[in-house]
Structure 1
Amino acid sequence: MKKDNAKAFARRRGSETSLRELAMLREEELLTRLESASSGLTAQAAEEKLDEFGPNVITSGRTHGPLYRLMEAVANPFNLVLLLIAVITFLTDVVFSAKKDFVTAGIILGLVMLSTGISFFQGERSNSAAARLSKMISNQADVLRDGKTVSVSIDVLVPGDVVLLSAGDIVPGDVRFLTAKDAFLAQAALTGESNPVEKFAQLPQGGAEAVTDLANIGFMGSNMVSGSARAVLLATGNDTYFGSMAQSLTGDRAKNSFERGVDSVSRLLIRFMLVMVPVIFVVNGITKNDWMSAFLFAISVAVGLTPEMLPMIMSSTLAKGAVSMAKHQTIVKTLSAIQTFGEMDVLCTDKTGTLTEDRVVLERYMDLHGNDNPRILRHAYLNSYFQTGLKNLIDLAIINRAHENGLEGMKETYTRVDEIPFDFTRRRMSVILEDTSGKRQLITKGAVEEIFSVCAWAEFNGKIEPLTEELKKEAMEVYEEQNRGGLRMIAVAQRNELPGRDRFGAEDERDLVMLGFIGFLDPPKESAAAAITALAEHGVHVAVLTGDSEGVAVKVCERVGVDLSHRLTGRDVEGMDDAALSKAVETCRLFSKLSPAQKERVVAAFQKNGHTVGYMGDGINDAPAMHQADVGISVDSAVDIAKETADIILLKKDLMVLEQGVVEGRRTFGNIIKYIKMAASGNFGNMISLMAASIFLPFLPLLPVHILIQNLLCDFAQIGIPFDRMDPSYIKSAHKWDTKSIQRFMVVMGPLSSLFDIALYAILWWAMGANSATNAALFHCGCFIFGTLSQILVVHMIRTEKLPFFQSRASRPLALSTGLVSAVALAIGFTGLSRHLDLAQMPLLFLPWLVLLCLGYCVASQLVKRAYVRRWGEWI
């Protein structure tokens, strides 16, 4: 009972009421409530709590094991139809039949097992590849276990763990600070406030207006900007304050256009079969006066018309794409996202780390007139080198540039006396140095406005002059010009006349001499421009959505080739209604100073215009836009909620990887569409052929077992489709699901194959003498051979817009599978193997007719293909 009460209490720790309550408890009482101690949990207690509370992750829903995925592979509409037919066949051929015949039911079950097995195997292969790569993604935390500091994965932290935090660490859950020294947290993900807030260990005085204002509470989703702290976890995973908010972002998306399209075609083909099969049954029953044979034939036709390989082709093609992308260090979390890549024609991306190297480079060091001056670099170097705190990216950039300029020897002539650390109120930091002669100086660097506020003098051309308003105005014009040009600017100042004491404080930062500015830039990646060009060549327009300033964004975008003829800021977006924004996004490629909600609006505006949109981001503030997008893309270094929301996770943050994904997506999309068009047109043509045969022939054109074996052979031949290549012209542009295109293709190509089937009937009837029931086995054999070969030819004729075999060759797996099936069909028809299937061996006299029919079909389909492309401008 006690354990259940503790668990119930823990489950509500992330609520506002509970957090306020925990914030007010004395440390001893708090640790007692959490069943912990100042030295942390024991390893055994942590393990027990992990079993109790589960891993420290924000989940979007339950994951399913292999058995569930196997059942999912079985339970697709086509398999269910085949299983129903198998049951009916078993009843008629085995249960209620004097002659037990397991063959038909066995073949049908074999088709189900083939489709299910391949779908399941390919899916598991993809899941395994993703799981292996996922193990490379981990976040660590320093925690006290058994009184010792150990580094563990964040997902094994539990309530009551005492964690040690320092600058750069993420806060691994909702925490209460036990000690804190200059601890500043960035909570922008929760509050939207860009400035970090300071946290303390003391109990709050008075009531905070918002729970996020509690000074001794830290939240999952925030990170340490500076300082250090020791804190105890109050809640983890979904029980955190942030976890409760994140659930709305991690819900399932609605099916995309491709998935909806596949569902609609599946329903169409099943309805088509359910209507036509009874018609064929009735016609054959009336014309042949053998209702049992008509029934068995109708059942076999139903099996032949069921595109049971569609789920297998889809899952195999998508899984192959996932495995291929895994080789490029890309985790595919959602298989259907691969084909969405193929549809994508707009990629929205942030700037930092995608277009840029996500590092800071010192670009300029200048005096107040904007002239390069190495004296400013020397002072900045001394400030950065001698500070004892965490050297941030700015400090490292200064030190690296100084080393490039050969200034590293300067440090040997100075010693540090004291420093005045950076804080977010003063927004500057200072060091006090003494040289070998005993002369002291204070060197300060920081935000331009804050440095100006403590300066009384300015240095121009080696001369020190009073800092008048006129001089300050002139200097600020230089600063603003550089800032508009995309440089992040800070100022450097110094003071020589210092007291002889060893301790200094913020009050000593006065009457400084302003020296000049240093400008920084996050340099563009070398691959960014090439990647944007490559994406554009594939019909994907890149739109940059950033929260950064317009000047910085423009500077980067200019260098990587983003079109800047039209651009919008967050303020512009805020002033537009949805209609105006939808119009504006068609020409705009740079959106700067955007809030998370505005990013989401921009993505929605693109979608409203009919675009398929991908969004690449790594911050919590990117999650709403990623969730809105058709495909969300993140990186392994992203925050957990961004990775949870994403469909694709890159282990390398590079647009060129996305270009490879686009190619893979279009190849995947194309191969699935190939099969759908083959199945739709083939089924329509077969219906016409079988209806004609049922009306005019005195016997069945094929026996049920022949249809089933032919179907099995053709299914095997199509196994190679997922591995087929696509024509380069197809890869160049985005393709969307178009049901009308599939219906049009079916109506054009279906009757074409029927014409050659009817021509075959005529040849067998008049040229080969198979015109009576006694010669029906010969007729069946001719139909079996040509029916199989013609479906093989359909694969090759439809797979490319070009001339097959010459201008565009099938991939080796597809060539092997279709070649092997063709050889088997010929062997069955022209050798003694035919007798084992109740077929009459075809004489060699039929071979020229067979060649003529096959060549005629190839020529006719190529001519129709050209006319079709000229008329509708597409093929696949």
Structure 2
Amino acid sequence: MKFLTGKLKDTQQKKNRLFKEEEIRSYAFMEEAELFRELSANKTGLTPMEAEDRLEEFGPNVITAGKKDTALHRLREAVINPFNVILLIIAAVTYFTDVVSSSKPDYLTVGIILFLVILSSLVAFVQSQRSNAAAEQLSQIISNKTDVWRDGVLTEIRMNEVVPGDIVQLSAGHMLPADVRFLTTKDTFLAQAALTGESAPVEKFSHGENNKKDGLTDLKNIGFMGSNIVSGSASAMVLMTGNSTFFGSMAQSLSGDRAKTSFERGVDSVSGLLVRMMLFMVPIVFIINGIAKGDWASALLFSFSIAVGLTPEMLPMIMTSTLAKGAVSMSKHKVIVRTLGAIQTFGEMDILCTDKTGTLTEDKVVLEKYMDIRGVDDTRILRHAFLNSYYQTGLKNLIDLAIINRAGQNGLNDILDSYHQVDEIPFDFARRRMSVVLSDKLGKLQLITKGAVEEILEICSFMEINGSVLPMDEETRNIAMATYNQYNEEGLRMIAVAQKNEVPGVDAFGVADEKDMVLIGFVGFLDPPKESAGAAISALLEHGVRTVVLTGDSEGVAAKVCKKVGVGVDTLITGRDVEAMTDDELFEAVEICNLFAKLSPSQKERVVKTFQRAGHTVGYMGDGINDAPALHQADVGISVDSAVDIAKETADIILLEKDLMVLEEGVIEGRRTFGNIIKYIKMAASGNFGNMISVIIASVFLPFLPMLPVQILTQNLLCDFSQLGIPFDRVDKEYLKKPHKWETRSIKTFMGFFGPLSSIFDLLCFAVMWWAIGANRVELSPLFQCGWFLFGTISQVLVIHMIRTEKLPFVHSSASLPLLVSTCIVAAVAMGIGFTRFSVGFDMQALPLKFIPWLVLLVAGYLICVQVWKKVYMKRYQEWM
């Protein structure tokens, strides 16, 4: 049934329609009745059939503008890359020399080059498709949801199923699933920094005058996808979804402005190193060969081939495969990776900042005590706390649920019949309290407030002691604080409860009404430490990760829990201390303090930023609205599947289980992934560097090219294929014990140390071919080239097993089966080419069998020297990979 009005179709096209500002503005100034008519909606929400039709009409509520990760894009990336471009240039030049200008056209070399392009592109595309499929499958596990009215029933659906005309119900912690017009609001504050850059939340209203000169994001009754509710509650009608939203129109520019991660910066630094090396080496090879051989065209073609030889062209594919393999492995440990690059950062992390509740504790808050100012049990305190928690419309946290559950156990549900809610003053992280205004059957108003003890004391002018209301002075305040400190030090999380009956009879209430209140007592909660927390913190520390607790909770409770789980509390810094510290003082403090208590969201962010300034790679684990700034600031944001929307959306990694032990598994997998990427880079860079030294020397002394372009390309491709098993390789336990960063200096050192060693054995191979085999004339150059081709390929394939571990290979550390298989296959293929007529297809001459002993001697000597040289390197630089 297609019932959408023609007007609605005019205002929004089926899919991919770009956002138009004037249409949003027209919705902002419409009367509510006109708005419902315009969008063919009603207050009870769409029917399931209507929703289904609109989903078909407008498509899923997802942003595709600016996204390049499509199958077509991945195919283009696989085909058009520097490696293939150079190959195609060489194919064009070869076609001209071997076909167009030749009396006997020879298509073989051109055909082989084109086959190499197709084969390498196909492998890269297939790997990319598999990686993308794995990432998509994992992302489905953690998709955000929202509450919408469907046919009069409040229903939870995935955000991508929201359609124009839906009525959504929102409260603190929720993300706006689309561009909306607010229908009802109650102290609704939105954070829209992602769209406007405003750091302070803005208040939205369902009614109020908009000014036609207002900027789009200043419209008082309009909210945009990408914003989140900081406090209050609201209902709203969905106006536009997907690419039609304001956020959709900005998606491309927003993604372009995103700061690069440490992983991306590391890849850039390595790429820059390889490009600089290529720009230095290739002209040298071109000039030497041009002068020495007198054939500048061949020299140009050869130098192009050298450029390919210097480029680890499989690096993007190896990295993507390794990261995807890491993401899938982490998912088995209930760790879901939202962005693949975060895996490496996860492994690099050396500081883990975490909230206390649910991470170090069981996340099962139990109401233990309800007491008056002197600490005497008093059901009346529970009754007031119950009324406050029950009637608040915002996000009910674990404390609210614990109060409601305990009140139900004590038979207090009947008191709800005696009250109805008049208004509320929602919680925010500046006030750290929330209030409700209730009216009883006689119309008498009562304001009930609960919140952090010190913040409640600030608004109280009176205290109730033994049934009498007394002014708050130093004596009465000390009585209250003594009770609070006693139970706080015992590990109870204490919340103060206050009330007042003299409330002005107005329709709307605000923060200004929270004054001259009467403190009546406390409620105390127990959130016991997790049994696994201590072991997890020790395990993380063994792997070089220091755990730092950043909590909004009071210092007494936080210190009690931290002591039990093994987090040092010799130094404890509170939010007030942080506020008073200069940046330099905080810089010094973060190096010695493992517990920061009573922090505001902005203070958590500042502490994380200070750790980063001190040179640490920081992970932050949190699940609340107050954690969003710190999650965004951290190098790797970690949240849980049960977190509020904005926390999940900000995080890079989502845990399906809120447990630090799960984190340790993720850290290990991140390091394993990074270790395998570094293996490939160091092997490829050092091997290629050694080959180029050999080529330059050979170009000076040989009367012919040591290898033809097609032979270099074939060897390069075979060596790359031999390393396709690297993503599945094992990593030594010693490597996993500490975090590792991208170190361009380390790569350069490794190249300089091992590149020349391979050149020495290349020169020995040249000597064998020249004197022992007799390939010392121009007409025998195909034989000489075949010898170096075979030795170079076999040695580069087998040296993988030497370099992949700091231990003795095959004895103390063995490669994974996929890597063993890939290296054996390529070695067999190389032997097949070198000793059979297949060599002719690559412009080479088959080697005589008498070369086999020389090949074994050369390869064995090279591998033994690498093992010895490896020990020298580790002793000198105190590292391997």
Q: Taking structure 2 as the reference length, what is the TM-score of the superposition?
A: 0.78
Partner of 1:72: 77
What is the aligned counterpart of 2:725 among 703, 709, 720?
Answer: 720
Residue pair 2:350, 2:544 contacting (<8 A) in 1 also: yes
Question: Cα gap change, 1:79/1:337 in structure 2, threshold over 3 Å: closer, same or farther?
Answer: farther
Residue pair 2:29, 2:210 contacting (<8 A) in 1 also: no
Residue pair 2:191, 2:230 contacting (<8 A) in 1 also: no
Partner of 1:576: 581
In the TM superposition, what whole-angstrom CA distance separates every residue of 1:402-421 from its partner, at most 9, and x where no partner exists? 99xxxx6x759x97694446
User: How far apart in 2 are the matches of 1:445 and 1:550?
Assistant: 22
Residue pair 2:134, 2:324 contacting (<8 A) in 1 also: no
User: How far apart in 2 are the matches of 1:839 and 1:418?
Assistant: 95
CA positional deviation for 1:99 = 3.1
Please identify, of 34-43 and 245-254, the stretch whose mean Cα deviation from structure 2 is larger.
245-254
What is the aligned counterpart of 2:466 among 458, 467, 470?
Answer: 458
Structure 2 residue 551 is the aligned partner of structure 1 residue 546: yes
CA positional deviation for 1:752 = 0.7
Structure 2 residue 535 is the aligned partner of structure 1 residue 530: yes
Question: Cα gap change, 1:429/1:353 in structure 2, threshold over 3 Å: closer, same or farther?
Answer: farther
CA positional deviation for 1:753 = 0.9
Structure 2 residue 310 is the aligned partner of structure 1 residue 305: yes
Please identify, of 152-161 and 342-351, the stretch whose mean Cα deviation from structure 2 is larger.
152-161
Residue pair 1:348, 1:616 contacting (<8 A) in 2 also: yes
What is the aligned counterpart of 2:760 among 736, 755, 758?
Answer: 755
Question: Cα gap change, 1:656/1:79 in structure 2, threshold over 3 Å: closer, same or farther?
Answer: farther
Please identify, of 515-524 and 242-251, the stretch whose mean Cα deviation from structure 2 is larger.
242-251
Partner of 1:98: 103
Partner of 1:566: 571
User: How far apart in 2 are the matches of 1:241 and 1:680?
Assistant: 46
User: How far apart in 1 are the matches of 2:416 and 2:747?
Assistant: 79
Residue pair 1:377, 1:398 contacting (<8 A) in 2 also: no
Question: Cα gap change, 1:597/1:119 in structure 2, threshold over 3 Å: closer, same or farther?
Answer: farther
Partner of 1:746: 751
Partner of 2:123: 118
What is the aligned counterpart of 1:478 among 474, 480, 483?
Answer: 483
Please identify, of 660-669 and 275-284, the stretch whose mean Cα deviation from structure 2 is larger.
275-284
Structure 2 residue 682 is the aligned partner of structure 1 residue 674: no
CA positional deviation for 1:51 = 7.8
User: How far apart in 2 are the matches of 1:538 and 1:246?
Assistant: 38
Matches within 5 A, 1:764-843: 764-773=769-778, 775-830=780-835, 841-843=846-848
CA positional deviation for 1:290 = 5.8
Question: Cα gap change, 1:597/1:81 in structure 2, threshold over 3 Å: closer, same or farther?
Answer: farther
User: How far apart in 2 are the matches of 1:552 and 1:193?
Assistant: 30
User: How far apart in 2 are the matches of 1:527 and 1:53?
Assistant: 48
In the TM superposition, what whole-angstrom CA distance separates every residue of 1:306-338 from its partner, at most 9, and x where no partner exists? 322222222221222222223334333322222
Partner of 1:133: 138
User: How far apart in 1 are the matches of 2:59 and 2:107?
Assistant: 51
Partner of 2:738: 733
Question: Cα gap change, 1:351/1:492 in structure 2, threshold over 3 Å: closer, same or farther?
Answer: closer
Partner of 1:438: none
Partner of 1:497: none
User: How far apart in 2 are the matches of 1:83 and 1:843?
Assistant: 33
Residue pair 1:633, 1:647 contacting (<8 A) in 2 also: yes
Structure 2 residue 367 is the aligned partner of structure 1 residue 362: yes
Question: Cα gap change, 1:591/1:247 in structure 2, threshold over 3 Å: closer, same or farther?
Answer: farther
Question: Cα gap change, 1:617/1:771 in structure 2, threshold over 3 Å: closer, same or farther?
Answer: same
User: How far apart in 2 are the matches of 1:529 and 1:801?
Assistant: 32
CA positional deviation for 1:354 = 3.2
User: How far apart in 2 are the matches of 1:397 and 1:517?
Assistant: 14
User: How far apart in 2 are the matches of 1:750 and 1:429?
Assistant: 77
Question: Cα gap change, 1:532/1:105 in structure 2, threshold over 3 Å: closer, same or farther?
Answer: farther
Residue 141 of structure 2 aligns to a residue whose secondary structure is coil
Letter in 1 for 2:880: W
Please identify, of 749-758 and 687-696, the stretch whose mean Cα deviation from structure 2 is larger.
687-696
* Two-structure CA RMSD over aligned residues (Å): 5.0
Max Rg structure: 1
User: How far apart in 2 are the matches of 1:315 and 1:217?
Assistant: 41
Q: Taking structure 1 as the reference length, what is the TM-score of the superposition?
A: 0.79
Residue pair 1:376, 1:492 contacting (<8 A) in 2 also: no
Residue pair 1:386, 1:416 contacting (<8 A) in 2 also: no
Residue pair 2:689, 2:751 contacting (<8 A) in 1 also: yes
CA positional deviation for 1:657 = 3.1
CA positional deviation for 1:162 = 3.4
Partner of 2:271: 266
Partner of 2:344: 339
Structure 2 residue 688 is the aligned partner of structure 1 residue 683: yes
CA positional deviation for 1:733 = 1.2
What is the aligned counterpart of 1:586 among 579, 587, 591?
Answer: 591
User: How far apart in 1 are the matches of 2:726 and 2:785?
Assistant: 28
Letter in 2 for 1:71: R
Partner of 1:502: none
User: How far apart in 2 are the matches of 1:472 and 1:298?
Assistant: 84
In the TM superposition, what whole-angstrom CA distance separates every residue of 1:388-443 from its partner, at most 9, and x where no partner exists? 8699744653687799xxxx6x759x9769444677579589999xxxxxxxxx9x
Question: Cα gap change, 1:772/1:492 in structure 2, threshold over 3 Å: closer, same or farther?
Answer: closer
CA positional deviation for 1:279 = 4.0
Matches within 5 A, 1:354-753: 354-364=359-369, 370=375, 376=378, 380=382, 393-394=398-399, 396-397=401-402, 418-420=417-419, 424=424, 427=435, 458=466, 473-483=478-488, 487-490=492-495, 517-753=522-758
Partner of 1:509: none
Residue pair 1:332, 1:647 contacting (<8 A) in 2 also: yes
Residue 591 of structure 1 aligns to a residue whose secondary structure is strand
User: How far apart in 1 are the matches of 2:479 and 2:23?
Assistant: 52
CA positional deviation for 1:122 = 2.6
Residue pair 1:420, 1:429 contacting (<8 A) in 2 also: no
User: How far apart in 1 are the matches of 2:276 and 2:92?
Assistant: 20
Identify unmatched segments of 5+ residues in structure 1. 433-441, 495-512
Residue 569 of structure 2 aligns to a residue whose secondary structure is coil
User: How far apart in 2 are the matches of 1:803 and 1:88?
Assistant: 46
Question: Cα gap change, 1:130/1:850 in structure 2, threshold over 3 Å: closer, same or farther?
Answer: closer
Residue pair 1:458, 1:467 contacting (<8 A) in 2 also: no
User: How far apart in 1 are the matches of 2:387 and 2:602?
Assistant: 40
In the TM superposition, what whole-angstrom CA distance separates every residue of 1:511-552 from its partner, at most 9, and x where no partner exists? xx9997541033333333333222222212233333444344
Q: Number of residue pairs matched?
A: 827
Residue 880 of structure 2 aligns to a residue whose secondary structure is coil
Partner of 1:508: none
Question: Cα gap change, 1:526/1:72 in structure 2, threshold over 3 Å: closer, same or farther?
Answer: farther
User: How far apart in 2 are the matches of 1:42 and 1:400?
Assistant: 34
Partner of 1:846: 851
Structure 2 residue 299 is the aligned partner of structure 1 residue 321: no
User: How far apart in 1 are the matches of 2:303 and 2:222?
Assistant: 72
Residue 355 of structure 1 aligns to a residue whose secondary structure is coil
Residue pair 1:418, 1:431 contacting (<8 A) in 2 also: no
Residue 542 of structure 1 aligns to a residue whose secondary structure is strand
CA positional deviation for 1:104 = 3.0
Letter in 2 for 1:821: V
Residue pair 2:559, 2:569 contacting (<8 A) in 1 also: yes
In the TM superposition, what whole-angstrom CA distance separates every residue of 1:428-472 from its partner, at most 9, and x where no partner exists? 89999xxxxxxxxx9x9966869998986639xxxx999998677
CA positional deviation for 1:870 = 1.2
In the TM superposition, what whole-angstrom CA distance separates every residue of 1:591-632 from its partner, at most 9, and x where no partner exists? 333344333333332222222223333445544433333333
Partner of 1:507: none
Residue pair 2:770, 2:776 contacting (<8 A) in 1 also: yes
Letter in 2 for 1:530: A
Question: Cα gap change, 1:152/1:475 in structure 2, threshold over 3 Å: closer, same or farther?
Answer: closer
